């Protein structure tokens, strides 16, 4: 039981490049989330999903897209990366009350 995993762990992009972050969970959770964490800002919700095939916007969705084609996977895409998207990205999946976090992806956009 690996819990929540994220790939890649680190990435450096140039402005305008695109990439996809992959989150996978093996706990059969319905709900999955993408957060970003910036210094002094805490964790902020980007997008979330309440089940396979569904997605919804969170607090800071602009510049990101997501897909949940399979229950165990939740993908976060950046179509045209900007320096403001430099951050640490955490994926999480949840039971009714507790969230389990992945190890994070550190993304730098130059």
Pairing between strand 10-13 and 105-109?
Answer: parallel
Pick between residue 69 and residue 96 the one whose CB is nearest to another protein.
Answer: 96
Nearer Cβ to another protein (29/86): 29
User: 6 forms bridges with which residues in the sheet?
Assistant: 23
Contact 99, 91 (CB under 8 A): no
Give 37's Cβ-side CA count (13 Å radius): 14
State which residue, 14 or 39, has the beta carbon closest to another protein.
Answer: 39
Minimal distance in Å, beta carbon 106 to another protein? 11
Q: How far is the CB of 72 from another protein (least distance, A)?
A: 18
CA distance 103 to 12: 17
Q: Which is nearer to another protein, 12 or 50 (CB)?
A: 50
Q: How far is CA 34 from CA 9, 64, 74, in A?
A: 15, 10, 8
Minimum Å gap between C-beta 74 and another protein is 12
**Could you list the residues that contact another protein (CB under 8 A)?**
31, 33, 35, 40-45, 48, 50, 56, 58, 90, 92, 94, 96-104
């Amino acid at each position: 039981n690996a819990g929540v995993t994220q790939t890649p762990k680190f990435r450096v992009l140039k402005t305008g490049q695109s990439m996809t972050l992959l989150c996978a969970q093996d706990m059969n959770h319905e709900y999955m989330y993408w957060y970003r964490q910036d210094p002094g800002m805490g964790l902020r919700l980007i997008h979330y999903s309440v089940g396979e095939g569904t997605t919804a916007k969170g607090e800071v969705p602009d510049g990101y897209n997501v897909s949940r084609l399979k229950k165990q996977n939740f993908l976060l895409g950046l179509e045209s990366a900007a320096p403001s998207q430099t951050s640490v990205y955490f994926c999480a999946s949840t039971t009714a009350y507790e969230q389990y976090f992945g190890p994070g992806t550190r993304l730098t956009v130059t």
